[in-house]
Amino acid sequence: MEVVEKKNKNKKYKPILEDIPDWPVYQLSKNRKEFIESVAQKSIAQIKELRPTTKQLLDELQTTVYREQQRMKRNRWRVDPVDEPRFWASVKDELVGLDAKPPEEAQPKAEELLRRIVMRYAEEIAGNFKASSYKVTREVVKFWFARLLNGARVKKFGAFFRNRYTLRDKIHIVGKVKHLRNLASKGTVIMVPTHFSNLDSILIGWVIHSLGLPAFIYGAGLNLFNIKIFAYFMNSLGAYKVDRRKKNLPYLETLKLYSTLAIQKGAHSLFFPGGTRSRSGMLEKQLKLGLLSSTVEAQRSLYMETPPGEDVRKIFIVPVTLNYHFVLEAPDLIDDYLSVKGQERYLPEQDKYGSWQLLQFLFKFFTKGSNISVSIGRGLDIIGNYVDDNGNSLDAQGRVIDTRDYFVSDNQITIDKQREDEYTRMLSQKIVSEYHRINRVFASHLVAFVAFEMWQKMHAKLDLFGLLRLPEEDQVIRYEEFREACKRVRKQIYALKAEGKVYHATHLKGNIDLVIRHGLDNVGIFHLKRPLLLNKEGNVITKDFNTLYYYHNRLVGYDLEKFI
Q: Kindly report the CATH number assigned to the domain that includes residue 406.
A: 3.40.1130
Q: What's the mean per-residue pLDDT of the chain?
A: 86
CA–CA distances in Å: residue 388 to residues 316, 385, 392: 11, 10, 5
The last residue of a domain, from among 406, 437, 468: 437
The pLDDT score that the predictor gives to residue 368 is: 54
The last residue of a domain, from among 437, 471, 500: 437
Residue 46 lies in a domain: no
Residue 307 lies in a domain: yes
* CA–CA distance, 40 with 503 (Å, rounded to integer): 44
The 10 Å Cβ neighbour count of residue 368 is 16
Global pTM value: 0.85
3-state secondary structure of 400: strand
The pLDDT score that the predictor gives to residue 527 is: 84
For residue range 193-228, what is the model confidence (pLDDT) as tens digits? 999 987 787 788 888 888 999 888 888 778 777 766
* 3-class DSSP string for 194-209: CCCCCCHHHHHHHHHH
Largest CA distance in the chain: 82
Q: Are residues 392 and 502 in the same domain?
A: no
**Of residues 176, 124, 264, 159, the one with CA closest to residue 503:** 176
Residue 60 lies in a domain: no
Q: Are residues 478 and 383 in the same domain?
A: no
The pLDDT score that the predictor gives to residue 327 is: 87
Residue 420 lies in a domain: yes
Q: Are residues 330 and 467 in the same domain?
A: no
Q: Are residues 212 and 300 in the same domain?
A: yes
The pLDDT score that the predictor gives to residue 211 is: 92
CB 411 within 8 A of CB 475: no
Q: Within 13 Å and on the Cβ side, how many CA atoms surround 148?
A: 19
Phi, psi torsion values for 234, nearest 5 degrees:
-65, -45
Residue 216 lies in a domain: yes
For residue range 470-483, what is the model confidence (pLDDT) as tens digits? 998 999 999 999 99
DSSP string, 167-179: HHHHEEEEE-HHH
Q: Are residues 459 and 380 in the same domain?
A: no
* 374: enclosing H helix or E strand: strand 372-376
Q: Are residues 242 and 365 in the same domain?
A: yes
**Of residues 86, 66, 255, the one with CA closest to residue 58:** 66
Buried b (16+ CB within 10 A) or exposed e, 394-423: eeeeeeeeebeebbeeeeebeeeeeebeeb
Q: How many structural domains does the chain have?
A: 2
CB 210 within 8 A of CB 242: no
* 534: enclosing H helix or E strand: strand 533-534
Q: Are residues 381 and 449 in the same domain?
A: no
What does the angle CA 337 – CA 340 – CA 342 come to, to the nearest 5 degrees? 105
Four-residue CA torsion sign, 129, 133, 135, 139: negative
3-state secondary structure of 557: coil
* CA–CA distance, 36 with 278 (Å, rounded to integer): 31
Q: Are residues 160 and 251 in the same domain?
A: yes
pLDDT along the chain (564 residues), means of 10: 48 81 83 94 96 96 97 90 95 91 92 97 86 68 56 43 55 92 96 90 83 86 72 70 92 94 92 90 91 92 87 95 89 91 53 54 56 92 96 95 92 92 97 97 97 96 92 94 98 97 95 97 86 96 96 97 94
The pLDDT score that the predictor gives to residue 236 is: 63
Residue 142 lies in a domain: yes
Domain that residue 513 falls in: 440-563
